Structures are given as structure tokens and as C-alpha cells.
Structure 1
Amino acid sequence: MQEIALVALSNGLSHNQKNSLEDLIRLLENLSIKVHYHADALFSESKIGAVNAKRRAEIVNQYFKNPAIDYILDLSGGDIANETICYLDYKAINSSSSKLFGYSDFNYSHQRNL
């Protein structure tokens, strides 16, 4: 069974997107994909992240260190993701087989040779 982690390295999702997230999780689970996420770190109504930059990075680091995680999907774009750069564990990222996906101006983390 494949496993995916849903994260928000940047701005949190709006609370009115909760139903869409639940639909996404249900879709993935119907495809026999196990879904991991920290709900408290995904939602925020402000332009800052749902949790501070260090915590957002810790969550992503945790998923990169978990050999069961095949994919990490950042649902938040890249508006303030750069705040997490100094907290990311680049050794864990480099040695992980997990694939990180994002959109918008999210572009720094997909490079393995940082």
C-alpha cells in the first residue's frame, strides 16, 4: 500500500476547504493509499502558517524520515514556505525516497542536492 503525507509548508488552508480536504482523503483512501496529516497544522485563516515555521518543517522532516511515506504533498503553495528552509533536515531529505510535490512558487524543496 502506498502512503502519502499531506502538509502545509506555507499558508494554512482555509477552514472552508475542510470538505474538499475530506473529499481528497476519501479519494486517496478509495485508491488504497494510506493518508497521513496533522490537521492542526493544515488550517489557518491568516496569511501566516497554521503553526510556526519550525513546526511546519518538523512535520515535513518527520515524513521524510519515515520510510513508509512514498509521497509528500504540500497543499499550501509557497507564499511563506521559505520560512522553513533553515529548519529542514537536508540529510533526511537527501537520503529519503519520498517524493515531494507542491505548486505555485513552491520550488526550493524539490531539489535533492541542497
Structure 2
Amino acid sequence: MLKHGDKVGIVACSNALTLREKTQLTELAEVLLELGLSPVLSKYIYEQKTVFSGSGAQRAGTLNDFYNNSSIKAIFDVSGGDIANELLDFIDFDSIKRNPKPFFGYSDLTTIMNAIYAKTGNLSYLYQIKYLVWENKKIQIPDFKNSIFDKQDDLYKIKWDLIRGSKIEGVVIGGNIRCFLKLAGTQYMPEFTNKILFLESYGGATAQMTTYLCQLKQMGVFKKISGLLLGTFTRMEENNESPNIEELVLNITDDQSFPIAKTHDVGHGNTSKCLIIGKKYVC
């Protein structure tokens, strides 16, 4: 995917990083340099006015510039939160289609990643690059290095446990359930037919997840997709919520032939692997 000496763009399309996080981002830049990459930072990363590092147009402008810059070989988003969908009307999807390159992000970047797939067919990578400086960095750094430079699958090895059905096959869309549903009713929502829908969440309890799953059902999603993949639902699992996410999904998707699988390998935890949005999977 990348080679030593490549420039990579660092952006924050969602909530601004706080000034206290500069030390962490400096450490990340140092790790990338040690790996042989040359990070180029957007000027719209840190807080200027509350959660904003710049306007939606300004943040999207940097993203567009990085896609148009042939020397930038990949783009990593270091943010999360709530406001990534503010960029959607300012993103130049035609340029992204003409200049495909890996885009990495997670959580609220679900909106941009799925919009990129819907508008261009390009792949995006559900992975937070700050994992390389978080608690599990001693495992994440070698997995990242082996996968990004040496074309191994360390970062992409995901163990799925089927909880209904025997097989799920299709192109994966989705991500954070709350953020994915921001695309409902917009031109940026991917087509669902024969896709695999991946869902995960950091916050939220049983009632909130019920709301989201019912919305998906009422949109007709579960009748169109080929199956459902569940990642980690951090707060629900930490609090041992009942019913749990598996029980909720089994109840709400009442078609007994509808396949569902679960993994503990993808989500908001710092042990998370990388799931590729827009890629065909067989689980």
C-alpha cells in the first residue's frame, strides 16, 4: 500500500483536537517518521472555537487538497465526535474518484467513509491511526507496519463468530451505528442491496441501540442486505447491558434466515483491527 518515504496527510474532519492533545499528535508524527513515512499536517486540527478547528468548507478544502496532491499517498484522520458530516457538501467527490488513495478514520468518520464509497466506489479503512500511540501500541505498530508496507494481513485478521446463519458474503458498508444513520435520507448513503452492514458503537445503552436498530429496520435495510456484522459495543459490554446487542439484533431482525456475525476485533477499543469499507468479505 505504502513505501518508505511516502508523504501521508493528517486531517481532523470531525471535532477539533484539544490543545492538550498536541503532545500525543507530536508522538504520532514521530512514530510515522520512524516507520519511514512523512506526515503532512492540516492546519485545521486543533480547537479554535469550541469543537471547531475551522469551518466545514475549510476542513473539506484540506481534504480535497490532499486528494489532489499526487505526493500525498494516504490520508489519516485523527478526529472523532459529531461534526464530520458538516463537510459532505464541500467534498469534491469527482476529484476523489480521479485520485483514489487510502483514507483511514473511525467513529464519526463513518459518514465520510461511506459517502466516499457511495459517490466513488473507493475503499476506506475503518482504523484510528492514533492506535499507534495509545495503550496497545506495542502490538499495533508492528501490525500496521507489516500490513501497510509488507502487504501482510496482520491488521486485517478479524475473527467472526456466526450467531445466526452459516455464511455472510458481500461488500461491507457501515461503521459506527449512530454516525452511519446521519446519512439516512441523503445522497451520501450507500446502496444497501446485497451489502454486508457492519455496526459498532462506543457509547449508548440498550434503549438507544434499540432505537437505531428499529430505524434501520423501518428503512427496509435488513430486507436488502446480505447479512449483518457486529463489532464491539463498548459501553453496553462494559456495563453488561441486558438484553445485549446480540439479543437485540436477533429479536429485531425476526427473519430466521437472516445471517448475523459478531467480532470483538473491530470497534473503539485500542486493540481494534482494520475493516475495509467497500471491500468484499466472506464471513
- Higher CA-based Rg: 2
How many percent of aligned residue pairs carry the same amino acid? 28
2:31 match: 27
After TM superposition, the score normalised by the length of structure 1 is 0.90
Are 1:104 and 2:96 an aligned pair?
A: no
* Number of residue pairs matched by the alignment: 113
What residue ranges of structure 2 are gaps of 5+ in the alignment?
A: 120-283
Distance across 2 between alignment mates of 1:75 and 1:29 = 16
Contact 1:8 1:49 in 2 (8 A): no
Are 1:74 and 2:98 an aligned pair?
A: no
Q: Which has the higher contact order (CA 8 A, sep 6+)?
A: 1
Distance across 1 between alignment mates of 2:75 and 2:46 = 17
* Cα deviation digits, residues 13-66 of structure 1 (max 9, x gap): 01101011000001101111011012x411016543211110000000000001
What residue ranges of structure 1 are gaps of 5+ in the alignment?
A: none
After TM superposition, the score normalised by the length of structure 2 is 0.38
1:50 match: 53
* SS at 1:30 equivalent: helix
2:98 match: 95
Are 1:7 and 2:11 an aligned pair?
A: yes
Letter in 2 for 1:8: A
Distance across 2 between alignment mates of 1:11 and 1:105 = 9
1:59 match: 62
Which moves more between the two structures, 41-50 or 17-26? 41-50
Distance across 2 between alignment mates of 1:12 and 1:90 = 23
* Cα deviation digits, residues 57-104 of structure 1 (max 9, x gap): 000000000112121111112510111100000011111131111111
